[in-house]
Amino acid sequence: MNWTFSIPAILIFILLFAFSILSLAYFLRLYLGFQKLEKKEIRLGTFPKVPSEEELELFFSPLERVAEWFPTIASLSMLLGLLGTVLGINTAFGEMESQGKVSLEILAGGIKDALNTTIVGLLVAIPSLFFHRVIENKIRYLSELIIKDHTDQK
In a domain, 16, yes or no: no
Task: Please say if the pLDDT value at position 137 is more than 60.
Answer: yes
Instruction: Provide CB contacts within 8 A for 29, sequence distance 6+.
Output: 66
Predicted model pTM: 0.88
Per DSSP, 49 falls in state: S
In a domain, 8, yes or no: no
In a domain, 17, yes or no: no
In a domain, 15, yes or no: no
Report the alpha-carbon distance of residue 117 to residue 137 in Å, rounded: 31
Give the residue numbers spanning the domain of 90.
Answer: 26-153
Domain tally, the chain: 1
DSSP of 60-105? HHHHHHHHTHHHHHHHHHHHHHHHHHHHHHHHHHHHHHHHTS--HH
pLDDT tens per residue, range 22-57: 999 999 999 999 999 999 999 999 999 999 999 999
- pLDDT value, residue 1: 62
Task: Please say if the pLDDT value at position 153 is more than 70.
Answer: no
- pLDDT value, residue 76: 97
- pLDDT value, residue 154: 56
pLDDT tens per residue, range 62-107: 999 999 999 999 999 999 999 999 999 999 999 999 988 888 888 8
In a domain, 9, yes or no: no
Question: Residue 27: which of 71, 76, 90 has the closest Cα?
Answer: 71
In a domain, 92, yes or no: yes
In a domain, 143, yes or no: yes
- pLDDT value, residue 31: 96
- pLDDT value, residue 86: 96
